[in-house]
Copies of this chain bind each other. A is one copy, B any other.
Amino acid sequence: MQSRFFTLRDYPTGTPPRELFELRQHELPALDEGEVRIRNTWLSVDPYMRGRMSGVRTYVAPFELNAPMEGAAIGEVVESRHTRFKAGDKVRHMAGWRDVAQLKGDVLESLPDMDVPDQAYLGVLGMPGMTAWTGLNRIANLREGDNVLVSAASGAVGSLAVQLAKAKGGTVVGIAGAADKLEWLEQRDIHAVSYKGKDARQLGADLEDACPEGFDVYFENVGGDCLEAALDHLKVGARIAICGLISRYNSEAPDRGPSNLANLLVQRARMQGFIVADHWTEYPHFLEEVGPRVARGEIDYAETVEEGLERTPDAFLKLFEGANRGKMLIRL
């Protein structure tokens, strides 16, 4: 059986050009004992993957050049030589960016049995959802009544973060760009603030209007002017969870850095970076808490879907254009 997969030709500087991604194929060898062959049905592209294209080890090793790229995926077992899996089983794994994967069964996760679509396990009940839950609860110590600010608030992570925060009863403000994203937030009773065409000072003025008391928690996905504006609107004892800094990922020049870090001192505030993989042992706990709410339709999760393996790099690049609402997915 043939497997088609994407490889990376080189490590880009700045925004990766489309030609960097090469679609190749090879004939898969017969299954070894313990191996499983999976036909992928859904692929995930995520902002963190830009870090794996840097050629420098950060918190995750870089993609190997000219080798199959990796990422979260969901698929159906077509052939198995592993006792735990049989043909037809639905599984989640990290051999994305390809149509057919062949893996040791030990690295596969069976999809949980909940009344949600399969692809939810790549989004609201997958790594992005777990990231939102971890950042709020384990890093920012979200409490009842906290005022919460979320940047990239309609993205895969942010869109769950605002809803989990809203359930705690405080004022929740989401920063986003496009009109449909702002509308989505407002419909969920989240104060929506647009960052478009604003510097940190102007953005800060809008945050002031949306939440004059200031924020107990800032869930940071963006960096740059969003961080600077947020630092001016912290309550005493505020907690900032740094989940991502997408404004920086394609940047070639060094960042300017917020001019107002001294507010951490004045407000006795805390800023902490986190990586969801460090907290993965808590995934069952997250699933137990959030899964039933998703199944009951209490949590609204958006998806932006591209069709066909060929579109995977395009879907990935759209993440940096702010073109997705909710989880960016590829349906095969």
Closest B residue to A253 by beta carbon equals B259
Residues of the B chain whose Cβ atoms lie less than 8 Å from the Cβ of A266: 58-59, 273
Residues of the B chain whose Cβ atoms lie less than 8 Å from the Cβ of A143: none
Q: Are the C-beta atoms of A256 and B255 separated by less than 8 Å?
A: no
Q: Are the C-beta atoms of B260 and A248 separated by less than 8 Å?
A: no
User: A262: which of B248, B258, B263 is its contact (CB, 8 Å)?
Assistant: B248
User: A258: which of B59, B257, B272, B273 is its contact (CB, 8 Å)?
Assistant: B257
| Distance to closest chain B CB from A123 (angstroms) | 21
Interface centre among A257, A259, A269 (most CB of B within 10 A): A257
Residues of the B chain whose Cβ atoms lie less than 8 Å from the Cβ of A243: 265
- Interface residues of chain A: helix, strand, loop or mixed (majority): loop
Provide the A260-283 mask, 1 if CB < 8 A to any CB of B, else 0: 111111111111111100100000
Q: Are the C-beta atoms of B271 and A272 separated by less than 8 Å?
A: yes
Q: With A and B bound together, what is the CA distance between A243 and B265 in angstroms? A: 7
| CB within 8 Å for A265 and B278 given contacts A256-B259, A257-B256, A257-B257 | no
Q: Are the C-beta atoms of B259 and A264 separated by less than 8 Å?
A: no
Is residue A245 contacting chain B, with contact meaning CB distance below 8 A? yes
Residues of the B chain whose Cβ atoms lie less than 8 Å from the Cβ of A260: 254-255, 257
List 16 interface pairs A-B (beta carbons < 8 Å), by A numbering. A59-B265, A59-B268, A242-B261, A244-B265, A254-B260, A255-B259, A255-B260, A257-B258, A263-B273, A264-B273, A266-B273, A268-B272, A268-B273, A268-B275, A268-B278, A270-B270
Q: With A and B bound together, what is the CA distance between A259 and B271 in angstroms? A: 16
| Distance to closest chain B CB from A117 (angstroms) | 31
Q: With A and B bound together, what is the CA distance between A272 and B234 in angstroms? A: 13
Q: Are the C-beta atoms of B259 and A257 separated by less than 8 Å?
A: yes
| CB within 8 Å for A223 and B272 given contacts A256-B256, A266-B59 | no
Closest B residue to A227 by beta carbon equals B261
Q: Are the C-beta atoms of A264 and B256 separated by less than 8 Å?
A: no
Q: With A and B bound together, what is the CA distance between A50 and B243 in angstroms? A: 35
Give me the interface of A with B, judged by CB distance under 8 Å: 58-59, 223, 227-228, 242-245, 248, 254-275, 278
Closest A-B pairs by Cβ, 5 of them: A257-B257, A265-B273, A264-B273, A254-B259, A270-B272
Residues of the B chain whose Cβ atoms lie less than 8 Å from the Cβ of A257: 228, 256-261
Closest B residue to A220 by beta carbon equals B265
Q: With A and B bound together, what is the CA distance between A266 and B59 in angstroms? A: 5
Q: With A and B bound together, what is the CA distance between A261 and B251 in angstroms? A: 14
Q: With A and B bound together, what is the CA distance between A273 and B262 in angstroms? A: 8
Interface centre among A244, A245, A261 (most CB of B within 10 A): A261
| CB within 8 Å for A261 and B223 given contacts A268-B273, A270-B271, A270-B272 | yes
Q: Are the C-beta atoms of A274 and B278 separated by less than 8 Å?
A: no
Residues of the B chain whose Cβ atoms lie less than 8 Å from the Cβ of A271: 264, 270-272
Closest B residue to A256 by beta carbon equals B257
| Distance to closest chain B CB from A264 (angstroms) | 4
Interface centre among A59, A228, A262, A270 (most CB of B within 10 A): A262
Q: With A and B bound together, what is the CA distance between A271 and B267 in angstroms? A: 13
Q: Are the C-beta atoms of A273 and B278 separated by less than 8 Å?
A: no
Interface centre among A58, A255, A271, A274 (most CB of B within 10 A): A271
